Homo-oligomer: A and B are copies of this chain.
Amino acid sequence: MCTALSFSAGNHYFGRNLDVEKSYGQKVVITPKGFEVAMRCLPSFRTKYAMLGMAITPDNFPLCFEATNEKGLSIAGLNFPDNAHYNVTIAGKSNVTPFELPLWLLGQCDNVHQARILLTKCNIVNINFSASLPLSPLHWMLADKDECIVIESTKDGLKIYDNPFGVLTNNPPFDWHLMNMNNYLHLHNAGSVNANNNSMAHNYSLGLGALGLPGDFSSASRFVKAAFVKNNSVKSENETENVSQFFHILASVAMPKGCVKMPNGEYEFTLYSCCCNTDKGIFYYNTYDDSTIRSVNMNDYNTTDNTKLIIIGEEI
């Protein structure tokens, strides 16, 4: 379970909470410009743009949790169990595996508009990375500074949705969340309005205008709360304040350890939160047990050595 977020405040920011029960060993990874991507069903290609985000890198292949390229196009994959449906290859289609999708889009496209065109012929195929790395059921949020879309491959086919909220969580499919938001669009950040002219009415607390906002950790509730907090968030021209605000939005839907129990008795929690300034190529992140926000600036690295991935820092 996870929450992804696209937020514009002066610059454009894109990031997410990764909610899991344990680490996969991911690190911050820069995939350089011109990196050769060996595709399973399509010809290999070289990335047009460098990209930055959390990934694991088995066999020197970046399996991206989320990423932003030099043009600011960003993607995050989020858990989509029971609903994600991957297909057999289809002749004449662009057959792309789920683990290739981030590179395939960010390695070739400047923006969402270009990605939409690529996606027109795309077929998400059911091919594991390896026997020991089977596919996760995912859907994706893809955004640039102007547009945000959701990509879902279900039994009904590949769906591309405009995402006016700039938020994605998990189940149910995105169109359910879209409809569900109609039950919350009346919530606001001010005092309760006394609709009934009752003389007893009393704003006993600030914030009563948002009564009804859910606070549990289910995917439907996190979607609603993240959208509300994002929509009401202040915007600054100051990088520190905007990044801070982004992390506060994510914190409002983060999972504290113990609050979300899995059937096996383990707890899901927000292992890391991250935020990329997609205009500047700066990736910020913190972890469950270290709230200090660290940053990686893509411009500080030589992203033109196309032979190897740049792997930064420790396992998260």
Contacts and interface: CB of A to CB of B under 8 A. Distances in A.
Interface in A148-197: 164-165, 170-172, 176, 178-183, 185-196
Interface string A200-211: 111111111111
A288 interface: yes
A259 to B, nearest CB: 5
A295 interface: no
A259 B179 contact: no
Is chain A's binding surface mostly helix, strand, loop or mixed? Answer: loop
Nearest to A176: B179
A252 B249 contact: no
A258 B232 contact: yes
A207 B218 contact: yes
B212 A211 contact: yes
Contacts of A221: 211, 213, 215
A51 to B, nearest CB: 26
Contact of A259 (B189, B215, B259, B260): B189
Contacts of A11: none
A196 to B, nearest CB: 5
B214 A164 contact: no
Given A212-B212, A259-B228, A195 B185 contact: yes
Contacts of A260: 189, 206-207
Contact of A217 (B206, B219, B248, B263): B206
Interface size class of A (residues with CB under 8 A): 35 or more
Given A164-B200, A233-B256, A234-B258, A210 B216 contact: yes
A186 B176 contact: no
Contacts of A164: 198-200
A188 B30 CA distance: 40
A88 B14 CA distance: 45
A214 B309 CA distance: 44
A191 to B, nearest CB: 7
A82 B182 CA distance: 15
Nearest to A229: B256
Nearest to A169: B205
26 contacts: A82-B204, A180-B180, A182-B200, A182-B204, A186-B194, A186-B209, A188-B196, A190-B263, A196-B228, A196-B232, A204-B219, A206-B260, A207-B260, A209-B261, A212-B216, A213-B221, A215-B215, A215-B224, A229-B256, A233-B256, A244-B288, A244-B289, A244-B290, A245-B256, A252-B254, A291-B291
